Structures are given as C-alpha cells and as structure tokens.
Structure 1
Amino acid sequence: MTVAPSALVPVPPLAARARSVGGSPVRDILAVTARPEVINFAGGLPAPELFDAEGIAEAFRAVLAETPARALQYATTEGEPALRAALAERTTARGLPTDADDILVTTGSQQALSLLATALLEPGDTVLVESPCYLAALQAFALAGARIVAVPGDADGVDPAALEELVVRERPKLLYTVPTFQNPTGRTMSAGRRAAVAAVAGRCGLWIVEDDPYGELRFEGERVPWIASYEEARDRTVLLGSFSKVMAPGLRLGWLRAPARLRRACAVAKQAADLHTPTVNQLAAARYLADRDLDAHVARVAGAYRERRDAMLTGLADALPAGSVWERPEGGMFLWARLPEPYDTTALLAEVVRHDVAYVPGAPFYAAEPDRSTMRLCFVTQTPEEIGEGLRRLGVGLGAPGPVSPTRSARPVG
C-alpha cells in the first residue's frame, strides 16, 4: 500500500546538541573568500608550498613497496608501534619522559578533543577555557553538552588566581589551553603561569588539556616547558600534538599523551568513532621520521613564517585605524589585533571582502561576551609581498587613514 506524501509522519528530530551548535564561522568565511584574487588572512592553513611533498611521497612509496599488506590492513586502535615509539622519543627529547604506551594516535588532534569530551564530560559538566579560545574546541565541548566558562587572563596567559576561584566555585572537569602560540591570539603562557596553573590543578583536582599544535614553530625566544612536565600536573594533564602544522594536515595525524586510565577510555571512544587512524598514513609518517630530519624541515618552515610575520608587523600600523593595538607572537601562525571603539570587525567584514582581502572576526572565539573590535590575522599562507598588498587592501576596506602614526605601535593586548 502506497502512502500519500501528505500523510507521511515526520521523522524524529535531530539531537538537541546538533540543533544548538552551529558550524565554524572560519569555514564559512573560507568558502566565501575562495576566489583566487582574495588575499586571505582568515585561514588557519599552513603554507602548502613549504610541505616536503617529495619526502612524504617517498615515505609512502617505501611503505607500499616494502610492506603493502600491513600498510593497507586494519591496525590497532592505539596506533602503529613504530609511530608511537617515534613520538615518545621526540616527546622525551623535549623534556617530558614518555613511553610508546603513553601515546594514543588520533585522526588529527581535533579527534583527540572529541575523544576527551566523550571520555570526560557528562551533559551539564563545566569546562574552563581561555578567553578568547580555539574555536573548534568550543564546538567540541558544546557538542558534548558542556557548560563553557571563560577564565580571565592577559598577554601571559590565564590568571591563576582567577582560575582557582573558578575551580572552587564551578567545580569544572577540565581546563583547556593552547599555551604556546595560542590560536587565535598567538600568545605564549609564561613559565611562571604554567607552574601556577599546574599547582592549581594539583590543589583543586582538575584535568588540564594542553593542546600544542604550534609549539615547534618558534621564531625567537626560549622554549617554555609543557604544563604536563610540572610535577603537580603530571597525573592530570593530557598533552595533544599534531603533524598538521609541521608535516602536512592532509595526513590527519595527531596524538594524545595521557594517564593510563584516561588514555584507555579515549581508546574505547576511538574504537566507536573510527576503529583506528589510517594505517598507511601512520606507517608513512614513521618512515618519514626515520629517514628524514623533521626538525631541519620545521626550522626551514619557521624561518619562512618569521619573514611573513615580520612583513605583517611592518605593515599593520598603516593598515589599521589609529588607536589599534596588536600582539607580537614569538612563533606560530596568528596575530591578534584590537581596533578602537566603535569598530565591529564582524559588521565590517563584508565591506573588507569587497576589497579582495579577508580576516576572521574575533567574536566567535569567545565563550562569554565577545570583544567585537578584535580580529585574527593568519600570516603564513602569503609571501611578504602579498602580505603588504593585502594589508593595503585591508586599510582601504577599514577606512584607515594613510600615513603611519608613531602612536600606532605594536603593544600587548590584555
């Protein structure tokens, strides 16, 4: 018997979390600005011309030629032993003693965030984040039904006193932080702040999720120890890493280092999500690490990125309105700027895009009341010359006055 379309009963609705959590404004902006003539400071993409494409291709060729059956087969959920061992060795060399069994390989570090949300969070649990915060982390925690609370901070990172007050009052499950070359601000949390955050976690009972996708992209200054390396936080810190910014994002290779109980829970969640990260990609990455000098490659990439950062810093004073302030990142991919009131970077974006240049408004990166005068600028995907032209267009789009003023200098944004 055929039922008339008008008599069909509607299907059940989507889950509440799917209805309440929106998409990524950054992805939406990238779709709008995909025209080749647009100089795009909006993306968080590494520079493709700097990928070691031949080295990666050779690693894949070697793996497929020598161990094709293994490379194309299912693998263990925890990850390929050779890759886990190599990651443990690199982590240990950077000051955090790590065994291969401490590592779970994930399909990009974004999956690690989703696994942690599944393993740690019940609907209604509180999560503490930086202000502003990495946008996709806000999405992951919101999809888990978490209540997200921003911790006040400044150019040195989250305020430890404010953090402790919030932990005591809100009883959160975790603090999420990108302490080195943060997305979106480019800030680096000082060693003193890291020690204080670790102490708060130890005193008050708190998981710390320490996300470090950009830490190897340092241009200047001294490396700061991971929060996970401080004694008070060792048994309660999850360290996330990724090859996306130092090798290639298309490999979709990330990892988490976590205490055994939490790591096992994440492995169970991963089994339900995708069984395991693609075997051939893992083996190719392990082969690349064995045959090539990744550190030398990263140094070359960081050198190019430093030139591009410097080009952006040089041109900002003429591009932004008088009274604007911005941060000078010591590495990473992003620069954060604040325009004077009453500028609203969300409202201005459409006009700016008409001049074939784009940025990301700062508002979506806030868990609480946003600062609508802020913007994120990615400086790594254009040459210094293109950055100069893009900043010229940005200045026209914003209506910034022409000559540089001595008062428009780079200052930390609090």
Structure 2
Amino acid sequence: MNYRFSDASNNTPKSFIREILKLTQSDEIISFAGGLPNKAFFPIAAIEAATVKVLENDGANALQYSTTEGYLPLREFIANRYKSRGVHVDPKNILITTGSQQALDLLGKAFLNKGDYVCLERPSYLGAIQAFQMFQPQFQEVDLTATGIDLPELEQQMAAKQAKFLYAIPNFQNPTGLTYSLESRQNLAEYLKRSGNLMVEDDPYGELRFIGEHLPNVYSFAPENVILLGSFSKVCAPGMRIGWMVANDAVMERLVTAKQASDLHTPILTQRILAQYLADNSLDEHIKTIQAAYFEQRQAMVEALHQYMPEGVTFTEPEGGMFLWVTLPKNCPAMSLFPIAVKHKVAFVPGEPFSTEGKTSYDIRMSFCTVDAATIVEGVKRLAAAIAELTNQNQTDNQTVTI
C-alpha cells in the first residue's frame, strides 16, 4: 500500500528524547536523559482519595462531556494562584489543555501558516520545535545569554523575518536551566509592547525554584503581548495531562475554536479529580517537598561535575527546574559521545535536537531530578570516563592521520 502522508507528517521527526529513552531502559544504565518528574513524590494516596470523592459525590457529571474551556473551579484555582503573586488573571482567560504539549499544538493551529517565521531561543525546547514543525514554519534562533535572550538580536530578527511570535522559557529554561533576570524580563516586555509583537511564555518549571526569589512572569508586564503557558505535570502528576494557557479575549476565542477541533475538551474526570485534590490538600506544601529533594539532587550533580569533569568542560548551575547544560571540549562532539556513554552505562541528551540549525553540538542536557544523590555521583564518574575515552580516541586518530 502506498500511503500518501502529508508533507507536515513527512517532515516532522520522531521525538529524539523518546527514542533515546527506549535505548536506556536497562536498570544498569544511569539515565540523566528524561525530563521526567520524580515519581517518588506523586501524591498517590491523596489523588486516590480525591478520585473516590469525585465519583461518589458527582460521578455522572464527572463522566459526561463538558465545556471546552475547562472545569471552572480548576480555572479559578489557577487564577487565584496568579493573584497571590500580584498578577490579575480572569478565569475566563484561562484554557485548560491536555498538557502543555497540546497548548503548543493549539498555538500552531491558531497562528502558523506554512513558511511563517517563529523565533526561538538558541537552544530551545525540542518538544516545542517538534510541535511547531507540524505546521511547516521557518525557525529563527536567537542567542540565549546567562541573563536572558539577546534583545538586540531578537529585535532585529523579529523585524527582518516578521515572525509570528517568540517562543521562550524564562524560568529554568529547558534545556539549559538558565533564568532570565528581572531586568531582562522588563526590557523584553517593553520591547513587545513597543513593537506590538507576541511572545509565548512557557512556564512549566517556575514553581520549582530552590535558590533565590521568585521572579514575575514576562506576562505580568505585558499581558496583551504574551500568551502564558503553565502545567501541573511538574508539580503534581504528568499522567493527568493537565496544563493551561492564559491569553486575552481575542486570542482565547481562536484557541478555544482550535481546541474544539482537536479534542472538544481535556478529560473532565481528571480535571475534577485534580481540582478536588487541590481543594483538600496544600499544593504549596507538596511543592516544598519536591523543591527540597531537587535541590539536594542538583547540589550532588553540580559538586560531582566540579570534582570529576576534565579540563575544558563547563556547565550551568541552575537556581531551579530540572536540568543543567554541559558544554564539552571541542574534540568531543555530543553525538559521538553518546554511544560511548551508553557503553559506560550512563545516558544524557545530546544538544543537537535542541536546535533547528543542524550544527554539530558540543553540549549535552542532564536531568538531576529522577536519580538520587549517590547515583548521580556514580553517573557523573561514568560520564567523565566516557569523555576521556572519546578524547583519547580522537587524539589517537589525529596522530594516525599525521603519521
């Protein structure tokens, strides 16, 4: 049978991380590859109790079709949480989505035509790249500095390419772990308002800060120019697949229509179970537990990298989130290192999939949140051994060529 798939389907690759995870399922491999929250902290008993309560008290409606926008008490909870940080969000401007990944798909449906430009951080979240690729846009990457996106470069590229929007992750960016400074957020917001351009601010990790003070979202400075994405996946349970979008009335109308065409609504049963869980339990206390554990694991990875990495290796030291970004020596391409690392029974994500430019990367993403401190140290030792093997191999090859 000759299946005539769409151009979009033909040109969108499989998720690189999902394919890597298939290769690293062995219990012998220490994996820093997956961006998975630590399942040890899923509130299983509390969610079980919430499920029983929902089904006993109003099971028929919890199993019925519902509104596209999402369960109102859940949207009110999200709005009140923003209000506690000094940001006014009306529940009517919140759309519940089936995870943040669906939010990216809906943005593509609402905004992107084939050939349109989208500006991304360099590097950027590969899940967003994959989601937007289905709509066949062109990507323009903009350098990411230690304090935020390179604003002069962004201004130039947005104007030159007439980009539909900027997609960025200001809090504990995936993959680098970097965070925009307050000044960078304010300057970016002023640029958006001045130029009339649009930003998609993805914030799945903002609650996971364990060093320093919480910083306001870019949205809080420019709500008409920013679509804000959030998720319960990193602070509650990703299997519930509940995220959200915050947008003004005009944008929300288009997003709701796009969602109706996609799945009518996010499963109301899981929405109501989550809302019941949030009503009966303290999310803040649950997050404190996660923050404390992730901080300990982050410390273990940073200290181990300082101790065991060879000269020429640098890395970010994030204030929160789930990842850090390691830059390797120039004789150590990440893709070449990966099979050697797997041989040493340690895994990571090479940096190339986090870019649309197709360049050889000397960077790797490492997640610290699913592995305990002692295992992290052992994994970093294995990674150092893999780097040493590749470096020696390249030196031998160069000597052979010289002879």
Tell me if both proteins adopt one fold, taking TM over 0.5 as the criterion.
Answer: yes
1:397 corresponds in structure 2 to 386
1:143 corresponds in structure 2 to 134
1:162-207 alpha-carbon deviations (Å, 9 max, x no partner):
1111122111110000000000000001111111111221122211
List alignment gaps of at least 5 residues for structure 2.
391-403
1:290 corresponds in structure 2 to 279
2:401 corresponds in structure 1 to none
Instruction: Give the distance between the partners of 2:44 and 2:173, measured in 1 at CA.
Output: 27
**Compared CA separation, residues 400 and 97, structure 1 to 2 (3 A):** farther
| TM value normalised by structure 2 | 0.95
Determine if the alignment matches structure 1 residue 364 to structure 2 residue 353.
yes
Letter in 2 for 1:42: A
Question: How far did 1:116 drift?
Answer: 0.8
Determine if the alignment matches structure 1 residue 244 to structure 2 residue 233.
yes
Alignment of 1:220-299 (within 5 A): 220-230=211-221, 233-299=222-288
Q: Secondary structure at the match of 1:67?
A: helix
> Contact 1:362–1:370 (CA<8 Å) still a contact in 2?
no
> Contact 1:133–1:365 (CA<8 Å) still a contact in 2?
yes
Instruction: Please point out which of 14, 27, 49 is paired with 2:5.
Output: 14
1:329 corresponds in structure 2 to 318
Greater shift in the superposed pair: 312-321 or 274-283: 312-321
Instruction: Please point out which of 137, 153, 157 is paired with 1:166.
Output: 157
Instruction: Please point out which of 107, 114, 117 is paired with 1:116.
Output: 107
1:157 corresponds in structure 2 to 148
Instruction: Please point out which of 375, 384, 390 is paired with 2:373.
Output: 384
Greater shift in the superposed pair: 64-73 or 367-376: 367-376
Computed over aligned residues only, the root mean square deviation of the Cα atoms, in angstroms, reads 1.3
> Contact 2:99–2:243 (CA<8 Å) still a contact in 1?
yes
1:3 corresponds in structure 2 to none
Question: How far did 1:11 drift?
Answer: 4.2
Greater shift in the superposed pair: 288-297 or 12-21: 12-21
Question: How far did 1:321 drift?
Answer: 2.5
Question: How far did 1:95 drift?
Answer: 2.3
2:301 corresponds in structure 1 to 312
> Contact 2:110–2:254 (CA<8 Å) still a contact in 1?
yes
What is the aligned residue count? 390
Structure 1 residue ranges, 4+ long, deviating more than 4 angstroms after superposition:
none
1:344 corresponds in structure 2 to 333
1:412 corresponds in structure 2 to none
2:343 corresponds in structure 1 to 354
Question: How far did 1:400 drift?
Answer: 7.1
Letter in 1 for 2:196: G
1:240-272 alpha-carbon deviations (Å, 9 max, x no partner):
000000000000000000011111111111111
1:31 corresponds in structure 2 to 22
Determine if the alignment matches structure 1 residue 129 to structure 2 residue 120.
yes
1:265-295 alpha-carbon deviations (Å, 9 max, x no partner):
1111111111110111000111111110001
Instruction: Give the distance between the partners of 2:347 and 2:231, measured in 1 at CA.
Output: 26
Instruction: Give the distance between the partners of 1:266 and 1:344, measured in 2 at CA.
Output: 41
Letter in 2 for 1:62: K
Greater shift in the superposed pair: 362-371 or 167-176: 362-371
> Contact 2:123–2:144 (CA<8 Å) still a contact in 1?
no
Q: Secondary structure at the match of 1:321?
A: coil
Question: How far did 1:65 drift?
Answer: 1.1
Determine if the alignment matches structure 1 residue 179 to structure 2 residue 170.
yes
Greater shift in the superposed pair: 273-282 or 194-203: 194-203
Instruction: Give the distance between the partners of 1:260 and 1:271, measured in 2 at CA.
Output: 16
Letter in 1 for 2:183: G
Question: How far did 1:369 drift?
Answer: 4.9
1:387-409 alpha-carbon deviations (Å, 9 max, x no partner):
111112112222279xxxxxxxx
Letter in 1 for 2:87: L
Letter in 2 for 1:386: T
1:51-92 alpha-carbon deviations (Å, 9 max, x no partner):
111111111111011110011111101001111111111112
> Contact 1:167–1:204 (CA<8 Å) still a contact in 2?
no
1:205-258 alpha-carbon deviations (Å, 9 max, x no partner):
21110000000000111111100011xx21121000000000000000000000
> Contact 1:215–1:332 (CA<8 Å) still a contact in 2?
yes
Q: Secondary structure at the match of 1:96?
A: coil
Letter in 1 for 2:370: T
List alignment gaps of at least 5 residues for structure 1.
1-9, 402-414
Question: How far did 1:368 drift?
Answer: 2.2
> Contact 2:201–2:219 (CA<8 Å) still a contact in 1?
yes
1:194 corresponds in structure 2 to 185
> Contact 1:121–1:144 (CA<8 Å) still a contact in 2?
yes
Instruction: Give the distance between the partners of 2:188 and 2:157, measured in 1 at CA.
Output: 12
1:315-348 alpha-carbon deviations (Å, 9 max, x no partner):
1134433111111100000010101111101111
Instruction: Please point out which of 36, 45, 68 is paired with 1:54.
Output: 45
Identity %: 43
Letter in 1 for 2:83: T
1:44 corresponds in structure 2 to 35
1:6 corresponds in structure 2 to none
